[in-house]
């Protein structure tokens, strides 16, 4: 066993010595070649060629580094623009939610106004019926007073014919007083009826004005809903165009990276898309929509004041 191990070690030592001898010979050949290349003109030309290649590689590295810096700046600018667009979209979403809330509130107010108008119409019909009933009662009372006057005149004639009648001067004074009292009562009643009729006509005019204002507000609300639908469609179009532009920018960025990887000396510049004009137009339309909503709310407030005044007049009629 020891002889086998020694034989194996001798074989490995022989191979090692042969390898060292081969490497020494190759080293000597390379040293001689280097000496010959340094001493001859071919070595200088090769070194100059190597230096030119090294200089060209350094220039290419500088160009690639500059391209990388410009691409990073363009990427940062695009990211900032995307963040601005997202913030504006969020603001637009919040404004749209606020407009929806205001529209829902205005619709509720419109429903309340419609209910109030229906109640006022019913109340006006009841007031007309009451006025008609008062007129009928007035006519009946007037007929009764006419009958009483006629009977009183008959009684006066009988008193005149009777031998024990009162003096004609007292009877005339009594009749004059009765006629003056009756005329004063009739005139007072007519004045009250005329005042009630005038108030009723005024209430009808106010009601018609309220109905017209409500119709105008409904038309304005329809116009506002149409404008809101148009803004939604425009926003969707802008979002689609923004996504399309983003996809184009991503494709161009990939092309730019591929051209850099392929060693293209003049890579194409990245287009920068700025949706600032479209967002400003959207903000202006949003501001005009807010102004219109404020006007509609002011009209609702006026309608509420008119409703309160009509309720006060109805309370006075009661």
Place 21 in a pLDDT band, splitting at 50, 70 and 90: very high
pLDDT at 89 (0 to 100): 87
135 — alpha (psi -120 to 50), left (phi > 0) or beta?
A: alpha
Could you tell me if 313 and 203 are in contact, meaning their C-beta atoms sit under 8 angstroms apart? yes
pLDDT of 245 above 70? yes
Average pLDDT, the chain: 77
CA distances from 66 to 55, 61, 76, 98, 286 (A): 17, 9, 15, 48, 43
Asked if 88 and 279 count as a contact pair (C-beta separation under 8 A), the reply is: yes
Place of tokens 């979002």: 239
Average pLDDT over residues 227-247: 77
Q: Average of pLDDT values for 55-72?
A: 89
Contact 117, 210 (CB under 8 A): yes
- State residue 22's pLDDT score: 94
Please state, in angstroms and rounded to a whole number, the distance separating the CA atoms of residues 123 and 120. Answer: 5
pLDDT per residue as tens digits for the range 290-318: 787 778 788 778 877 877 777 777 777 66
Q: Residue 164: what pLDDT?
A: 44
The mean pLDDT of 143-162, rounded to a whole number, is 66
Q: Are 175 and 156 in contact (CB under 8 A)?
A: yes
113: how many CB neighbours lie within 10 A of its CB? Answer: 21
Give the start-to-end residue ranges of the domains of the chain. Answer: 40-157+174-259+289-317
Q: Which residues contact 46 (CB under 8 A, 6 or more apart)?
A: 37
Q: Is 269 left (phi over 0), alpha (psi -120 to 50) or beta?
A: beta
| Res. 13 pLDDT band, cuts 50 70 90 | very high
User: Three-state SS string across 156-224, please?
Assistant: HHHHHHCCCCCCHHHHHHHHHHHHHHHHHHHHHHHHHHHHHHHHHHHHHHHHHHHHHHHHHHHHHHHHH
Q: What is the pLDDT of residues 100-149, one digit of tens each?
A: 888 888 888 888 888 888 888 887 788 888 888 888 887 887 787 778 77
pTM > 0.75: yes or no: no
pLDDT beyond 70 at 40: no
pLDDT at 27: 92
Residue with tokens 């009765």: 178
pLDDT at 30 over 50: yes
The pLDDT-based confidence of 23 (bands split at 50, 70, 90) is very high
95, pLDDT greater than 50: yes
Confidence (pLDDT) at 117: 81
Query: Taking CA 65 as the corner, what is the angle to CA 64 and CA 68, rounded to the nearest 5 degrees?
Result: 85
CB 244 within 8 A of CB 144: no
Looking at the chain, the whole-number percentage of residues with pLDDT higher than 90 is 7
pLDDT at 244: 79
**Model confidence at 263: pLDDT above 60:** no
């Amino acid at each position: 066993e020891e002889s086998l191990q020694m034989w194996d070690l001798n074989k490995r030592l022989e191979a090692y010595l042969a390898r060292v001898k081969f490497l020494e010979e190759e080293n000597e050949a390379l040293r001689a070649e280097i000496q010959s290349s340094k001493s001859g003109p071919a070595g200088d030309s090769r070194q100059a060629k190597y230096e030119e290649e090294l200089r060209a590689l350094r220039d290419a590295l500088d160009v690639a580094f500059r391209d990388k810096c410009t691409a990073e700046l363009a990427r940062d600018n695009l990211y900032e623009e995307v963040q601005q667009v997202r913030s504006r979209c969020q603001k637009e979403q919040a404004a749209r939610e606020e407009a929806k809330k205001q529209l829902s509130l205005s619709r509720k107010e419109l429903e309340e106004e419609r209910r109030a108008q229906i109640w006022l119409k019913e109340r006006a019909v009841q007031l007309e019926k009451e006025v008609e009933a008062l007129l009928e009662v007035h006519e009946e009372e007037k007929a009764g007073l006419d009958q009483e006057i006629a009977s009183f005149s008959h009684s006066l004639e009988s008193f005149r014919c009777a031998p024990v009648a009162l003096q004609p001067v007292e009877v005339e004074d009594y009749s004059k007083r009765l006629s003056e009292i009756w005329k004063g009562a009739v005139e007072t009643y007519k004045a009250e009826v005329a005042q009630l009729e005038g108030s009723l006509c005024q209430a009808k005019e106010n009601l018609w004005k309220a109905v017209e204002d409500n119709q105008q507000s409904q038309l304005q609300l329809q116009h506002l809903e149409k404008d809101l639908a148009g803004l939604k469609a425009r926003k969707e179009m802008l979002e689609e165009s923004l996504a399309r532009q983003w996809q184009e920018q991503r494709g161009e960025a990939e092309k730019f990276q591929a051209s850099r990887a392929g060693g293209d000396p003049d890579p194409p510049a990245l287009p920068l898309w700025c949706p600032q004009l479209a967002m400003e137009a959207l903000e202006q339309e949003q501001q005009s929509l807010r102004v219109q909503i404020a006007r509609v709310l002011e009209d609702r407030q006026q309608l509420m004041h008119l409703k309160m005044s009509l309720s006060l007049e109805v309370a006075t009629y009661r």
